[in-house]
Structure 1
Amino acid sequence: MPIFKIHHVTRYEYDRLVKESVNDIRIYPYLCPEQEVLHHELLITGNPELYLFQDYWGNKTGLFNLLPTHRELVIESKLVVRTTGGSQLQINFHSGFDALQLDTGNNLRLLELADPDFIKSKEAVDEIIQHIHQEGQSVAATVERCGEYIFKYFKYVKGITTNETTVDELLVHRSGVCQDFAHLMLQVLRTLKIPSRYVSGYICPNKNGMRGEGATHAWIEAWIPHYGWAGIDPTNNVWVTNTHVKLAVGRNFSDCSPIKGTFKGPALQKLSVYVSVGYEDGRSFEEVTDVGIPLDSHAAELVALDFAAAQQ
């Protein structure tokens, strides 16, 4: 059962004073049997009072206001977490789609997560389904083949997509990062009526070559009959075991965005995200991402932004 020390710093710098910043954050470890929080410290500029609640998807969420004028907002998370799942999974590869229908029949939450979004490139998704799904194949085998297909036929390239990139756009240029691959996999599996949800968190593989190490990461969880939620990471073509730390789940990235907020005052801002992962053997991995978010200086005084860099 490995232990990880994760340091996550989100910094916003403004070119002029802003005020009345209102934010909600989802950077708390998700409460589940697969991970145990040993320590979590959260530091925020101005030390505002935090209102904590559980959102619709079961994520621990914090809400705070920073009312005085400020030129910088820093949100720092220091986390020590133990992943309690094993390195091997016992996923049910026998249950088929008939069993899945029995699970989802009267479960409104699963039905909601089995409904695909409307996209223009439905034919491209149907083509993927033809490659990954066969009559009589188990649900788990279909999920696994979907992750394998995305890993094989889509390139992992940083910096060419944003957190607003659509599945339609990804299907055209066929390159992106973990967030894009997760959204595509959700669309494919939901078209097959497999309940699936987006997951945000960290990947901590201790320099074994996995993509996305050290940064905020994204993958998906699919509902497997007679098993439950099973995480799978299409960016790395692996089932999720004890090297992934989960922060939030939802229908898509928007439900899991680490930080969202609004503030008053037109300003140019700079966003930087620092993440480091420390391992029990003394090794560590760190990454800094700088994201420019220019705002029109003639914009309305009330500015609302999603304060989150695209997950890698």
Structure 2
Amino acid sequence: MSPPTAPEGAAPEPLPDDQTRADEARSDAAVADEALGGLTESAMAPAADAPEQGPPDAGPADEGEPPDEGAAALADAAMDTAPVCLAVEHDTRYRYDTPVEVALHSAHLRPRDTEVQRVLDWQLDIEPPPDGAVQQSLDAFGNWRHGFGHAQVHATLLVRSSFRVCLHPPRPWRAADSLPCEAVVRALLYAAGEQQPEAVEYMLASRFAPHDARLAAFAADLFTPQRPLLEAALALMHRVHQRMRYRPLSTDVATDAPSALARGEGVCQDFAHLMIGAMRSLGLAARYVSGYLLTHPPEGQPRLVGADASHAWVAVWCPRQGWVALDPTNNCRVGTDHVTLAWGRDYGDVAPLRGVIRGGGSTPPDVAVTVMPLPAAAAGA
């Protein structure tokens, strides 16, 4: 069987080993749905995420607004300086209602290196094996993207991503040292003859985090002109955490930020979209980060395989500090418990697995994530 056709604009190549250079040709190619555009009995949907990690005691929304000083203090607290090494396994298993005749899939499952994260190794296993070589490219945001297809009838599909990663704490910063909100808004505006920061693309509206008057009103009183941006961002993180109830299955992958705000409940994807949409609606830049969260079992209980979480959080752009990552679901700065997978404008840019199939029915996949701590020496850190 000949290998599947690579997306337009992306050079076909086999899955390279872990030493592949990260600066290979970037591609914002068409995804698999375009390649199978002629199929009349197709169904396209991103794979359901693994259970997302919510706050430990998510209760009713707090109608009162807590003091801003409490939120700002979160950023100034000392952070552990020791690196942390983790092993992650992410399984997505489909058991189709009816046999699948043809399928093409696009995956964002290979983690990226960042200034605080070093990927030690990564492996992608697919069963049944795809018909040809897995196609690898970089998307418009610098994330790894892989495409694969099946032209043989199959009733099940298992996609397993396994890797080890070493994490260092982010650089310390003080919220009070960030530029005033008004100055950051001006820095993002177009000015003839001046080069705009790359963060501008994350100020623009997107499907799940649009510009919306309701989102702007939700945050406007926090982002006063002379207030340091990161103080305001921390206060917004706290407000999202307090006003939104964490409730699994209350929303789905099609829920946007205004809808989540109206519901007053959701999962980590919705918390992140709400915070991003509110900041963008005020002329600021924020991006969506997908990844994993190391969870901690109750004292005296073993860590359960498959019981950890996929997760999502927010990175806020500030000219002095760069991108600052905040987790509104857990009301905390992002640290060494957070493993970055990919980032984009919203969930739609970084869905872990999506595709086009002929047949299959509508049964959702089973997803299991395991995040395990490793000794630094064992990981070669």
TM-score (norm 2): 0.68
Q: Of residues 316, 330, 338 in structure 2, which corresponds to 1:236? A: 330
Query: Structure 1 residues 41 and 51, CA, compared in 2 at 3 Å: closer, same or farther?
Result: same
The answer as to whether partners of 2:289 and 2:312 remain within 8 angstroms in 1 is yes
Q: CA deviation at 1:77?
A: 1.2
Indicate the SS of the match to 1:142: helix
Which residue pairs with 1:265 in the alignment? 359
Contact 2:308 2:368 survives alignment (8 Å): no
CA distance in 2, matches of 1:249, 1:226: 21
Which one of 4, 9, 12 corresponds to residue 94 of structure 2? Answer: 12
Which 5+ residue runs of structure 1 have no aligned equivalent? 282-312
Mapped to 2, the partners of 1:58 and 1:121 lie a distance apart of 24
Equivalent position to 1:152, from 219, 237, 242: 242
Give the drift of 1:28.
0.7
**SS of the counterpart of 1:127?**
helix
Asked whether the equivalents of residues 93 and 138 of structure 1 are also in contact (C-alpha less than 8 Å), the reply is: yes
Structure 2: runs of 5+ lacking an equivalent? 1-82, 300-306, 376-381
Matched, 1:197 2:282: no
- Mapped contact 1:179–1:217 kept (Cα < 8 A): yes
Matched, 1:248 2:333: no
For residue 114 of structure 1, the aligned residue among 195, 198, 203 is: 203
Match of 2:123 in 1: 41
What is the one-letter code of the residue matched to 2:357?
A: F
1:30-179 to 2 correspondences below 5 Å: 30-48=112-130, 49-86=133-170, 89-91=172-174, 93-94=176-177, 95-100=179-184, 101-102=186-187, 105=190, 106-107=195-196, 109-116=198-205, 122-179=212-269
- Partner residue, 1:27: 109
Query: Residue 7 of structure 1 aligns to which amino acid in structure 2?
Result: E
CA 184–278 in structure 1, closer or farther in 2 if over 3 Å, else same: same
Contact 2:89 2:160 in 1 (8 A): yes
Larger Rg: 2
Residues in 1 aligned to 2:212 and 2:362: alpha-carbon distance in whole angstroms: 38
- Is contact 1:183-1:198 (8 Å) kept? yes
Aligned to 1:185: 275
Q: Who is 1:218 aligned against?
A: 312
The structure with the greater share of residues assigned to strand is 1
What is the identity, as a one-letter code, of the residue corresponding to 1:183?
Answer: H
Structure 1 residue 93, shift from structure 2 partner: 3.3
Q: Is the 8 A contact 1:9 1:75 kept in 2?
A: yes
Structure with the greater relative contact order (CA < 8 A, sep ≥ 6): 1 or 2? 2
Question: How many Å apart are 1:208 and its aligned residue?
Answer: 8.3
CA distance in 1, matches of 2:308, 2:326: 18
C-alpha separation in 1, matches of 2:374 and 2:113: 22
Paired position in structure 2 for 1:299: none
- How much has 1:110 moved relative to structure 2? 2.1
Checking the alignment, whether the CA contact within 8 Å between 1:89 and 1:241 is kept in structure 2 is no
8 Å Cα contact 2:181-2:224 kept in structure 1: no
Q: Would you say the 8 A contact 1:92–1:226 is kept in 2?
A: no
How far 1:171 moved relative to its partner? 1.7
| Partner SS for 1:279 | strand
1:91, 1:227 within 8 Å by CA — same for their partners in 2? no
Contact 2:215 2:258 in 1 (8 A): no
- CA offset digits 1:256-299 (Å, max 9, x no partner): 10011011125243410001111247xxxxxxxxxxxxxxxxxx
- C-alpha contact 2:175 2:231 (8 A) present in aligned 1: no
**Identity percentage of aligned residues:** 26
Structure 1 residue 17 displacement after superposition: 1.4
Contact 1:34–1:84 (8 Å) recurs in 2: yes
Q: Aligned pairs, how many?
A: 277
Which position in structure 1 is the counterpart of 2:5? none
Secondary structure, counterpart of 2:111 in structure 1: coil
1:68 CA drift (Å): 0.9
Q: Which residue of 2 aligns with 1:303?
A: none
Residue 90 of structure 1 aligns to which amino acid in structure 2?
A: W
2:290 corresponds to which letter in structure 1?
S
- What's the CA shift for 1:239? 1.4
Which has the larger displacement, 251-260 or 97-106?
97-106
2: CA distance between counterparts of 1:73 and 1:63? 15
Deviation of the 1:203 alpha carbon: 1.1
